[in-house]
C-alpha cells in the first residue's frame, strides 16, 4: 500500500499508509494521544476520526481540551437530540442539525408541534442515549446508494440535499437506530458527552426560503462539564433580564406597531434623549477628526442603483420602486452612491484629498420577518456612515486614523474588550490588480498591529471589491458583537468613473474607504442597553437626576434646585406626586435614574441637598454646586 506524508504542527513529517484513518494516525503518534482524540484537522478542516486519509496534508489531532472540541461535542449532541425526537415521533422528517456558537440546533418536520413542555421528555430520552454509550458509526455510500437509502426512509429533505452533491462518496453516520446524512466529525460514542440543555424552539423555513416548508427548529446548548454549562445558563438568565425589548417596556424606550409595519422603530422620549446625546457626541468627534457631515435623500432614481450595481446584486434586499413622473425611484439601502455623487459634483485635485464625509443616513433594507429582533435587526435604520476618498499615498495613514478614532469611540461608550478580524481577498474578487489588494491588506494589518489589538485573519472573508477590518466588541456578559467595519472599495470608483487630478496633471482613481463605526444607531442602542442593563452612565441617562421634595412645603425649594440643575445643562425632572417619599425613591430606582436629590426642611434651611445614588448609597447635606461639579454629566469633549 502506498504511503502519504503528513505535516504535523511542530513542522515534522510523518509517513503513514494511505487509507489509514485519523484515529490510526493518532495511535501511531502515541496511544495516550489516541485516547483523548476526538477529531483531526486535515489541511485546516475538522475531520472525523474514522475518515481515511488519502493524500499528503497538514495534520493535527484535536483532543478534548482543544478549542475546536466544543464544535464536535455540539454536532454530536445535535444527532443525539435528533435520535430522541425520532423516538418520540417515528415519522419525523429531518432537515439539518449543525453546531453553532454555544450550542446546536436541528430542524424537524413533525406531525405535532414541539413546545418547551416537551423538553423534559426529550432530554430524558437523550440522557438514556448517552447512558447507552452508543458508537457513532461512519459509512461511505455512492450517491445512488445514498439516494436509495433516504428515499426508502421517506426523508425528502435529505434526498434534496443529496441530489445537489457531487458524484463522490457520501458519508452517513449511524447512532443506534438514527441514521443521518453528515460529514461529521463526531465523538467516538454518545457516552462521551453529558452536559447539555434544550433551550427553545422556533419556526424555520426550509433552506431559508419563505416559499418552502416551515420546520420546527429546536435549539440546545452543550459544554464539556456541568460547571461550564451552569455558567452559560446563568449568563442566559442574566441576558433575559437585560433583553433590550424587556427593558424598553420598563423604561419607555421604543416600540414597534403592526399598523406601521414590522421592523420599523418608534423612538420614545427617553430613548430619543439618549439618541440625541449619542448623535451630538458622534458629530462633535467627527468634526474634531477632520470629517464634514452630509445629508442625503432617502430615495434615488433607478439609474443611480443600476450604476452602483445594487439593482443587479442587492435587489432582493431592496423595496419595490416608487413611480414618480414616470421614473422609478428606490428607497436607499446604502448611502455610498449619494456621497459619490457629491464627490463628482466638481473637479477634484490631489490637493483636495483626503475628503472625509460622514452621515447619519437612514437606509431601508428588506429583512425576513422571522429574523426581526427589537432594534437589533430592523428594516429601517440609521447608519453612522462615512466614506473617505484619498490618494494611494494617503491610504495607510487614513486607515490608522479610522481605527484609532473607532477605538476611542468604543472606549468612550464603555467597551474595552475589542478584537479585530482582518478579512482578506475572497476566491471571487473584482478586478485583477493583486498589488492593490496586497497594499490595502497590508495597510489594514499594520493599523491593527499599531493599535495593539487582539486580532486574527478571516481568510477570504473580504468583500468581492476589497479587504476589510471588522471590529467585534464584548459586552458586560462576555458576548461578542460585530460592530465596526472599515472596508476598501475599488468597484464603485470604477463604476462611477471617479477621478482626481494628480500632481502630474493626469487623471487618477481615488481610493475609497467605506467606514461605519457604531454600525447603526438602532443596533448600537440595543447593544448599549443590554451592556448597561438599562442603567446608563450619567452622561447617557435620559433623566440624569430627579428632585424629590419630601412634602409639599418643600416644593418651592425643590423647584429652585431643579432650575439650577437645568441651568447647568443637566437633564433633571421633579416628582411632586402625593406618594410617600419611599415609594417615589423606589420608582426612581426602577427607572434607573442615576441620582435622586431628596429635599426636606433641613436641606431647605441650609441650602443643601441630600443625594441618593442609584446603587443605594446616600450622601447627606451636600453643597449643590459641588455635587454638580463632581459628576461627569456629559462627555468633556462634547
110 near 90, Cβ under 8 Å? no
Annotation marks residue 365 as catalytic: yes
Annotation marks residue 75 as catalytic: no
The C-alpha atoms of residue 441 and residue 424 are separated, in whole angstroms, by 7
The residue from 232, 332, 339, 365 that is catalytic is: 365
Annotation marks residue 514 as catalytic: yes
**Could you tell me how many residues make up the chain?**
638
Question: Which residues share a beta bridge with 293?
Answer: 358
Rg, the chain, Cα only = 30
Cis peptide before 154 (omega within 30 of 0): no
Closest CA to 469 of 530, 407, 412: 407
3-state secondary structure of 117: helix
The C-alpha atoms of residue 398 and residue 292 are separated, in whole angstroms, by 15
Residues 6+ apart with CB under 8 A from 318: 305, 310, 311, 330, 331, 333, 365, 366
The residue from 87, 273, 275, 387 that is catalytic is: 387
Annotation marks residue 387 as catalytic: yes
The residue from 74, 107, 217, 336 that is catalytic is: 336
Annotation marks residue 385 as catalytic: yes
526 near 481, Cβ under 8 Å? no
The residue from 468, 515, 523, 591 that is catalytic is: 468
3-state secondary structure of 163: helix
The C-alpha atoms of residue 29 and residue 36 are separated, in whole angstroms, by 12
Residue 152 CB-density burial (10 A; 0-12 exposed, 13-18 middle, 19+ buried) = exposed
3-state helix/strand/coil string of 612-635: EECCCCEEEEECHHHHHHHCCCCC
Q: How far is CA 73 from the centre of its chain?
A: 23
Phi, psi of 599 (to 5 degrees): -130, 125
Annotation marks residue 197 as catalytic: no
- Quote the cell numbers at residue 340: 459619490
- For residue 368, how many other CB atoms are within 10 A of its CB? 13
The residue from 155, 216, 285, 383 that is catalytic is: 383
- Quote the cell numbers at residue 557: 425649594
3-state secondary structure of 230: helix
The residue from 41, 514, 523, 571 that is catalytic is: 514
Annotation marks residue 183 as catalytic: no
Q: What positions carry a catalytic annotation?
A: 336, 365, 383, 385, 387, 468, 514
Amino acid at each position: 500500500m502506498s504511503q502519504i506524508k503528513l505535516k504535523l504542527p511542530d513542522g515534522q513529517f510523518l509517513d503513514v499508509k494511505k487509507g489509514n484513518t485519523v484515529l490510526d494516525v493518532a495511535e501511531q503518534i502515541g496511544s495516550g494521544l489516541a485516547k483523548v482524540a476526538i477529531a483531526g484537522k486535515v489541511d485546516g478542516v475538522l475531520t472525523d476520526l474514522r475518515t481515511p486519509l488519502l493524500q499528503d496534508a497538514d495534520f493535527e489531532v484535536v483532543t478534548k481540551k482543544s478549542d475546536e472540541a466544543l464544535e464536535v461535542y455540539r454536532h454530536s449532541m445535535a444527532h443525539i437530540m435528533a435520535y430522541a425526537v425520532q423516538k418520540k415521533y417515528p415519522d419525523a422528517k429531518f432537515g439539518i442539525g449543525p453546531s453553532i456558537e454555544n450550542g446546536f440546533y436541528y430542524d424537524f418536520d413533525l406531525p405535532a408541534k414541539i413546545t418547551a413542555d416537551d423538553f423534559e421528555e426529550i432530554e430524558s430520552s437523550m440522557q438514556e442515549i448517552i447512558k447507552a454509550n452508543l458508537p457513532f458509526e461512519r459509512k461511505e455510500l455512492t450517491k445512488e446508494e445514498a439516494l436509495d437509502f433516504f428515499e426508502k426512509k421517506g426523508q425528502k429533505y435529505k434526498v434534496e440535499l443529496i441530489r445537489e452533491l457531487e458524484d463522490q462518496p457520501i458519508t452517513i453516520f449511524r447512532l443506534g437506530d438514527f441514521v443521518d446524512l453528515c460529514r461529521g466529525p463526531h465523538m467516538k460514542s454518545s457516552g462521551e458527552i453529558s452536559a447539555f440543555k434544550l433551550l427553545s424552539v422556533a419556526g424555520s423555513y426550509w433552506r431559508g426560503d419563505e416559499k418552502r416548508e416551515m420546520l420546527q427548529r429546536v435549539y440546545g446548548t452543550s459544554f464539556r462539564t456541568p460547571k461550564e454549562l451552569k455558567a452559560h445558563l446563568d449568563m442566559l438568565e442574566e441576558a433575559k433580564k437585560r433583553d433590550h425589548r424587556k427593558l424598553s417596556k420598563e423604561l419607555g424606550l421604543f416600540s414597534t406597531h403592526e399598523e406601521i409595519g414590522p421592523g420599523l422603530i418608534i423612538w420614545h422620549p427617553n430613548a430619543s434623549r439618549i439618541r440625541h446625546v449619542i448623535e451630538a457626541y458622534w458629530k462633535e468627534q467627527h468634526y474634531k477628526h477632520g470629517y464634514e457631515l452630509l445629508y442625503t435623500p432617502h430615495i434615488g432614481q433607478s439609474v443611480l442603483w443600476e450604476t452602483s450595481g445594487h439593482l443587479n446584486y442587492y435587489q432582493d434586499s431592496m423595496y419595490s420602486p416608487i413611480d414618480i413622473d414616470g421614473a422609478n425611484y428606490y428607497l436607499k439601502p446604502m448611502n455610498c452612491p449619494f456621497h459619490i455623487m457629491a464627490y463628482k459634483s466638481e473637479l477634484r485635485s490631489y490637493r483636495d484629498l483626503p475628503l472625509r464625509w460622514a452621515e447619519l443616513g437612514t437606509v431601508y433594507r428588506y429583512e425576513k420577518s422571522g429574523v426581526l429582533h427589537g432594534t437589533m435587526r430592523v428594516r429601517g435604520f440609521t447608519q453612522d456612515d462615512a466614506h473617505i476618498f484619498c490618494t494611494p499615498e494617503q491610504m495607510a495613514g487614513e486607515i490608522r486614523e479610522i481605527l484609532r478614532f473607532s477605538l476611542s469611540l468604543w472606549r468612550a461608550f464603555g467597551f474595552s474588550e475589542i478584537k479585530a478580524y482582518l478579512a482578506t481577498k475572497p476566491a471571487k474578487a473584482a478586478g485583477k490588480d493583486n498589488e492593490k489588494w496586497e497594499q490595502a491588506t497590508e495597510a489594514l494589518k499594520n493599523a491593527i498591529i499599531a493599535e495593539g489589538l487582539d486580532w486574527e485573519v478571516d481568510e477570504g472573508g473580504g468583500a468581492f471589491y476589497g479587504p476589510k477590518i471588522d471590529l467585534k466588541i464584548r459586552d458586560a456578559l462576555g458576548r461578542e458583537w460585530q460592530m465596526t467595519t472599515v472596508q476598501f472599495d475599488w468597484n464603485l470608483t470604477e463604476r462611477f468613473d471617479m477621478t482626481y487630478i494628480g500632481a502630474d496633471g493626469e487623471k487618477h482613481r481615488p481610493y475609497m474607504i467605506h467606514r461605519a463605526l457604531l454600525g447603526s444607531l438602532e443596533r448600537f442602542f440595543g447593544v448599549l442597553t443590554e451592556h448597561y442593563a438599562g442603567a446608563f452612565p450619567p452622561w447617557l441617562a435620559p433623566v440624569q437626576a430627579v428632585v424629590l421634595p419630601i412634602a409639599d412645603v418643600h416644593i418651592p425649594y425643590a423647584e429652585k434646585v431643579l432650575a439650577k440643575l437645568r441651568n447647568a445643562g443637566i437633564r433633571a425632572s421633579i416628582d411632586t406626586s402625593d406618594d410617600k417619599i419611599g415609594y417615589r425613591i423606589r420608582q426612581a430606582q426602577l427607572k434607573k435614574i442615576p441620582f435622586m436629590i431628596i429635599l426636606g426642611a433641613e436641606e431647605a434651611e441650609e441650602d443643601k441637598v441630600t443625594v441618593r445614588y442609584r446603587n443605594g448609597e446616600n450622601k447627606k447635606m451636600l453643597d449643590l454646586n459641588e455635587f454638580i461639579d463632581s459628576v461627569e454629566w456629559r462627555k468633556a469633549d462634547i
